[in-house]
Structure formats: structure tokens, C-alpha cells
């Protein structure tokens, strides 16, 4: 699956698909609702690509990471459209479009893209991002979860939840045949500490429940608990640029030039936090051990992923990525 292709430019799509379809025999498409913690000897693979090009980042991430086939499946892609702010404030349109094209090329039966925004109305955010036109051009169904009928919000209450009476969750995401999450690399200045793959799931809960979330001392644990009711088949993190303070809409930026792919939200977020540490971030990131961050710690307790940094296995394709992975391993080991 590895390649020595340089990451500065684009790849020919036909060459990419021909090479990557051979390896699409990895993890089975499991449906998930909590479960036992991973065994202490089990590892989680995270593909790491160093690039400043989003087309290359997406295509190499899909080529490196051994994920379940999408052929014949209805695919739901969960982006970061809390607002329409420039990336990493929101998912870059190039990242989204490359994901949509790739799953179409690999034989997806249908592709859906959907989110719930806030504080701006979701329809305004989607319009500002140009998503209605993109949906027509690339042939995907655009879902506005703010406009879901009441019956499409499904009650969820995982055991031991810090939510007062549980939470509602978008039916389309809960019942998805195949879910891809695509997140950004950034801190969160309103209590979340960071917004990576775990925090992305907040957009699958209705806006009416955000007051409870943001007003709770257990906010970061509650974020993790949302994730207990579903399992993405693939996570793609666009880390070309990062907010290293403030966020999620805006903040001081640094360039990381990295893409990640994985299936374990704990592992992906742990690596994301390690990248923020490597870039130099705020005290909430720099002064806390990665696996003591409440989002990560609670998610590990719920069995959503690994429980220690030595269970992360990096997959890389070139020397630059391998050297960067080595640097991140050291940061992860130190906490």
C-alpha cells in the first residue's frame, strides 16, 4: 500500500483508483454502540501524509489506510460545517470534493453530505460554502440536519452518560451504511479544548441541546459520549493548517502540512493533539498529558479506541512522513 510518490502535486485519479482498490479489503463495516475497551495489546493504525496539497492528501490517505470497501454502499460524509469560516474554521471544499469523487469512483451506491451548524443557521452556512452547487456538480445529497423533522431525531442515552436525559441524534447518521468523518486540526476556545474527530460528532445532536452541553462541567466527557452511538468506517483529518489557540471559528494559525486517516477516533485525536503540541499551542494543550485530556480519556473508557500511546501504529509512505511520525511518537510517549 505504501508509495514513494512525492506529495507536492496531484495524482492521476485513474492511477490512484487502480492502485487503491486492490487494498480495500481491510476492516469490516461494523455498526457500533459502545462496547468493551480494546485489548491492551491491540494497535490502531493511523496513516500520516506530509503534503501541502489537499487533493494529494485525500488520495494518499485513502491509498495508505486499509479501510472497508464502499462499493454498493450508501455513504454519509460528516464534514465540519459548524460555520463557513475559512479552513480550519470549516472543512475545505477541496477536501470534501476529493472525498466525494473518490467514493463515487469506488462504486458507492449513493453519497450524502450533512451537518448541523451554529450559531448561524445551517442553510446560510451551506450556502456560503457553495454546497448546493457542489451537490449538483458532484452528485451527492445535501442534508441540513437543522431541518430534520422531529421523528428523525433519535433518542440516545449510553450507560453512564453525563447527559441529564440522554441526547437526540440524527437518524441519517445513526442508520448510515457507511460513514466517513472529515475533520480539521484546531483548538476550541469554548470549553472543548480541541476540535478533532470526537468533537465533530456534536453536529449530529440538535442545536437545542447545546445549552446543556456548553453549560455542563462535564462538557468534554459529554462530547465523547455522543460518539458511543455510532462508528465511522473512516476518518480523514485535514491538518494542512491549524488553529493553535482560540477556535473553532478563528484563531492564530500555524502550518502543519499533514493529513491523517484512521478508524479509531481516540488514536486520530491523540495524534492530532500531538501535532498541536509539536506546533506549539495554548496551555490547555501544552500542559496536559494527551491521554488525560477528558475527551480522549472518556472515549477510551467507553471502549471507542485505544487507551495508551504505544498502541498507535503509524503508516507512512516517505522519509519526510516517517521522520515526522517519529517526532510525534516521542510527544505521545511523553504525554
> Tell me: the pLDDT tens digits for 61-72?
999 999 999 999
**CATH number for the domain whose boundaries are 33-334:** 3.40.50.11440
**290-309 residue pLDDT tens:** 999 999 999 999 999 999 99
- DSSP class of residue 39 equals P
Q: How far apart are CA 309 and CA 331, in angstroms?
A: 9
The closest alpha carbon to 182, from 267, 95, 60, 296, belongs to 95
Which ranges in the chain belong to alpha helices (H)?
13-21, 54-64, 93-105, 122-128, 131-138, 171-174, 197-200, 210-215, 219-226, 265-279, 283-286, 294-301, 319-334
Q: Residue 328 pLDDT > 50, yes or no?
A: yes
Q: Residue 95 pLDDT > 60, yes or no?
A: yes
**186-241 residue pLDDT tens:** 999 999 999 999 999 999 999 999 999 999 999 999 999 999 999 999 999 999 99
Q: Where are the domains of the chain?
A: 33-334
Q: What is the mean pLDDT of the chain?
A: 90
- Counting Cα atoms < 13 Å in the Cβ hemisphere of 311 gives 19
Q: Quick one: pLDDT at residue 16?
A: 37
Q: Quick one: pLDDT at residue 244?
A: 98
Q: How far apart are CA 59 and CA 124, in angstroms?
A: 30
Q: Are strands 312-315 and 167-170 parallel, antiparallel or unpaired?
A: unpaired
Q: How far apart are CA 286 and CA 294, in angstroms?
A: 14
**Total-model pTM:** 0.89
Q: How far apart are CA 230 and CA 175, in angstroms?
A: 9
Grid cell at residue 90:
470549516
Q: Which residues contact 323 (CB under 8 A, 6 or more apart)?
A: none
Kindly report whether the peptide bond that precedes residue 88 is cis, defined as omega within 30 degrees of 0: yes
The closest alpha carbon to 121, from 141, 153, 91, 144, belongs to 144
Q: How far apart are CA 23 and CA 172, in angstroms?
A: 28
The closest alpha carbon to 165, from 155, 175, 173, 174, belongs to 155
Sign of CA dihedral 78, 11, 84, 281: positive
Amino acid at each position: 500500500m505504501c508509495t514513494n510518490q512525492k506529495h507536492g502535486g496531484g495524482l492521476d485519479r485513474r492511477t490512484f483508483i487502480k492502485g487503491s482498490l486492490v487494498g480495500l479489503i481491510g476492516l469490516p463495516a461494523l455498526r457500533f454502540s459502545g462496547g468493551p475497551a480494546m485489548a491492551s495489546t491491540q494497535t490502531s493504525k493511523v496513516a500520516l501524509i506530509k503534503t501541502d496539497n489537499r487533493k494529494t492528501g485525500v488520495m494518499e490517505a485513502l491509498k495508505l489506510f486499509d479501510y472497508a470497501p464502499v462499493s454498493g454502499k450508501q455513504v454519509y460524509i460528516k464534514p465540519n460545517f459548524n460555520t463557513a469560516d475559512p479552513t480550519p474554521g470549516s472543512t475545505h471544499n477541496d477536501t470534501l470534493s476529493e472525498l466525494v469523487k473518490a467514493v463515487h469512483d469506488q462504486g458507492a451506491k449513493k453519497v450524502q453530505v450533512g451537518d448541523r451548524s451554529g450559531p448561524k443557521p445551517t442553510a446560510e452556512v451551506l450556502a456560503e460554502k457553495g454546497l448546493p452547487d457542489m451537490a449538483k456538480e458532484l452528485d451527492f445529497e445535501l442534508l441540513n440536519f437543522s431541518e430534520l423533522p422531529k421523528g428523525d431525531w433519535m433518542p440516545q442515552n449510553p450507560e453512564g452518560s453525563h447527559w441529564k436525559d440522554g441526547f437526540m441524534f440524527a437518524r441519517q447518521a445513526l442508520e448510515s451504511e457507511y460513514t466517513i468523518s472529515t475533520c480539521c486540526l484546531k483548538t476550541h476556545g469554548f470549553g472543548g479544548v480541541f476540535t478533532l474527530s470526537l468533537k465533530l460528532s456534536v453536529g449530529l445532536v440538535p442545536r437545542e441541546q447545546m445549552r446543556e452541553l456548553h453549560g455542563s462541567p462535564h462538557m468534554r466527557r459529554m462530547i465523547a459520549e455522543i460518539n458511543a452511538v455510532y462508528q465511522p468506517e473512516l476518518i480523514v483529518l485535514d491538518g494542512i493548517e491549524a488553529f493553535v489557540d482560540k477556535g473553532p471559528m478563528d484563531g492564530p494559525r500555524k502550518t502543519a502540512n499533514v493529513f491523517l486517516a484512521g478508524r479509531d477516533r481516540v488514536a486520530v485525536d491523540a495524534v492530532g493533539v500531538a501535532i498541536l503540541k509539536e506546533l506549539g499551542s495554548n496551555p490547555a494543550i501544552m500542559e496536559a498529558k494527551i491521554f488525560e485530556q477528558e475527551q480522549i480519556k472518556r472515549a477510551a473508557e467507553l471502549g471507542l479506541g485505544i487507551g495508551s500511546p504505544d498502541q498507535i501504529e503509524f503508516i507512512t509512505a516517505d522519509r519526510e512522513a516517517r521522520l515526522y511520525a517519529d517526532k510525534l511518537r516521542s510527544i505521545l510517549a511523553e504525554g
